Amino acid sequence: MRREAAAPFFSMLRGMAAAVAAQLAGGFEEAEVRAMLARADEAFQADIPFIPEVGADNPWLKSLVGVAWLSGVWLQLEKRGWSLPRISLATQKALAAFAQSSLPAEKRSAMGAAMCSPELAEKIAARSRERRFPDDWLVEAVLPREGESFDVGYDVFKCPVVQYLEERGLRRFAAWFCRDDYPLHAAMGVRLERTRTLADGADRCDFRLKLCEEPFTQIME
């Protein structure tokens, strides 16, 4: 990825850093948290050229950039003896708080409705079929058949997040990062169901989304 393509996400990463810092405050001194985040940011800046190119117009690009930055945080926590389940749980809570604090409820609701739109799913799938970027997600839209209760689905056959983690020697993080999808969807009022992922060795990730009227949280222990 070109550095200028990553620049629009720097403000998002600062917000994520604040949420992560708040989540880690109970386990570390403030100075140590600042040091961890500074090292994570240095690692991210050095890794930008290695982030797969998927196109600036990709609606999922921010997820890839977020994982690249969080990888540095996870490495810092691993060095301090945290297990991946513990790191994952703290990250999910931080991302849920970040999503809820950075966007007003009305906007999150509108985004959730858009996420569950068949029109958007078909648009994302059509973009994927163009294969403008070899490392991009390979996606098929899935619409519910009679008797199925989800609003819209995606079958993902190629994932640049998994590719990035493999290439950076961080494959062990992949399945745990997948859990972050649940609280982020929940913050938008969308319940995510998934039975398999590429990170776990399956042939696809089977995202199934359902728009919910009542607020809820979805943290995966």
- Contact between 74 and 173 under an 8 Å Cβ cutoff? The reply is yes
Distance between CA 221 and CA 219 in Å, rounded? 6
The pLDDT of residue 47 is above 90: yes
pLDDT in tens, 109-122: 999 999 999 999 99
Of all residues in the chain, the percent with pLDDT exceeding 90 is 97
What pLDDT score does 101 carry?
A: 94
Q: Read off the pLDDT band of 214 (50, 70, 90).
A: confident
What 3-state class would DSSP assign to 23?
helix
Answer positive or negative: Cα dihedral of 102, 105, 107, 110.
positive
pLDDT above 90: residue 177: yes
The pLDDT tens digits for 162-172 are: 999 999 999 99
pLDDT in tens, 89-101: 999 999 999 999 9
CB atoms within 10 A of CB 184: 18
**What per-residue confidence (pLDDT) applies to 215?**
84
Burial per residue of 78-96, b for 16 or more beta-carbon CB atoms within 10 angstroms, e otherwise:
eeeebeeeebbbbbbbbbb
Nearest Cα neighbor of 167 from 40, 77, 53 is: 53
Of the candidates 150, 157, 147, the one whose C-alpha atom is nearest the C-alpha of residue 125 is: 157
- Residue whose token pair is 């513990």: 86
- Partnered with residue 138 across adjacent β-strands are 158
